[in-house]
Amino acid sequence: MAKKNPTIAPAASPKVEELMTGTTVFNIPLPADLKALKGMSPIVVKQPYHIDYIHSYGQDSPFFAGLSNGKLLGTKCGRCDYTYATPRLACTHCGRETKWVEIPLSGRVHTFTTCYFGGEEFLKETPFHLVLVEFDGVDTLFLSRLIGPAGPEDIRIGMKVKAKFRRNSQLKPTDVYFVPSE
């Protein structure tokens, strides 16, 4: 079953954009001989799907309230002396309940990328930079967007960054973002 001539290198060939629009069809002709149905092409239909979830941030909710007040809230386990930049209400090391603490608003790029594509929801925002930010005295990292640099060549690991907040809170983790502070 080996295909004789597999594709060689990918060539950028011109093509039109695929659309999710189509034609409404109300009936399909059938052959007189039902044996011919085995050779029938598949019927492909569009099935829209939309949901509004009633999503709760649950025990993470104070973090989002913090963002709307210009604060980055993380959590700390007093027993392990371990601070989580992204809050977690139970310590992963000992299982104890953690307490809310403020995280510094300045940190450094621990790692980064520039996304030129993305999930459909974010495709219109591309290209955008994602960064994991590290903070002095904090044991874990924080995922955010980096705004400002034109491309990945303008970002480096260890680069100093500071948090900025949307004035009109969307109650999403993107209410905070980072900008270079060097």
Q: Where do contacts with another protein occur on this chain (CB under 8 A)?
A: 1-3, 6-10, 18, 20, 41-42, 44, 47, 49, 55, 57, 60, 84-86, 88, 92, 110-123, 125, 128, 130-132, 139-145, 152, 157, 172-174
The CB-of-26 to another protein minimum distance in angstroms stands at: 21
Indicate the residue type of 5. Answer: N
Q: How far apart are CA 171 and CA 69, in angstroms?
A: 11
Residue that has been written with the tokens 């640099």 in this structure:
149
The CB-of-130 to another protein minimum distance in angstroms stands at: 5
Contact by Cβ (8 Å): 163, 176: yes
* Residue number with CB closer to another protein (26 or 117): 117
* Residue number with CB closer to another protein (29 or 42): 42
* Residue number with CB closer to another protein (1 or 16): 1
* Residue number with CB closer to another protein (132 or 161): 132
The CB-of-163 to another protein minimum distance in angstroms stands at: 13
User: What is the β-pairing status of strands 160-165 and 106-115?
Assistant: antiparallel
The CB-of-123 to another protein minimum distance in angstroms stands at: 5
Question: DSSP string spanning 121-177?
Answer: GGGGG-SEEEEEEE-TT-SS-EEEEE-S-SSGGG--TT-EEEEEE-SS--SSGGGEE
